[in-house]
């Protein structure tokens, strides 16, 4: 597991609002659960397919996990896998890159080649 980089999927409009505000407060689900759900690179495809299937207008945030400090916790979740959970708003300054997540011809999200190489 690469604990240096984590990822967050969000609506493009929410990310643009966060950039203006300086931090991303999370989705309705995040706020209800009390933390921002994130994924590792290895977990990302499963998260997209399970929670974001067919949704257009999404962006992938590449986050410097070390910059989040003690607010980032690694906790068991889906199937016992350990996921990164952020117990604070996500500072825009910790996002090192953003990528569009377009839908392919089958309605599945195309992951950025810059992160995952040729698929």
What would the pLDDT profile of 7-17 be if each residue is shown by its tens digit? 999 999 999 99
How, if at all, do strands 82-86 and 72-76 pair? antiparallel
Question: Model's pTM, two decimal places?
Answer: 0.92
CB 82 within 8 A of CB 1: yes
Domains delineated in the chain: 5-103 (3.20.170.20)
Q: What is the rounded average pLDDT of the residues 32-38?
A: 96
């Amino acid at each position: 597991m690469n604990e240096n980089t984590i990822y967050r999927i969000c609506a493009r409009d929410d990310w643009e609002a966060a950039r203006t505000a300086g931090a991303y407060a999370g989705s309705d689900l995040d706020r209800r659960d009390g933390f921002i759900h994130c994924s590792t690179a290895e977990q990302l495809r499963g998260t997209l397919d399970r929670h974001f299937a067919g949704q257009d207008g999404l962006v992938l945030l590449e986050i410097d996990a070390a910059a989040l400090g003690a607010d980032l916790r690694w906790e068991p979740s889906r199937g016992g896998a350990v996921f990164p959970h952020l117990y604070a708003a996500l500072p825009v300054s910790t996002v090192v890159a953003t990528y569009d997540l377009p839908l392919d011809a089958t309605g599945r999200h195309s992951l950025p080649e810059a992160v995952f190489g040729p698929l």
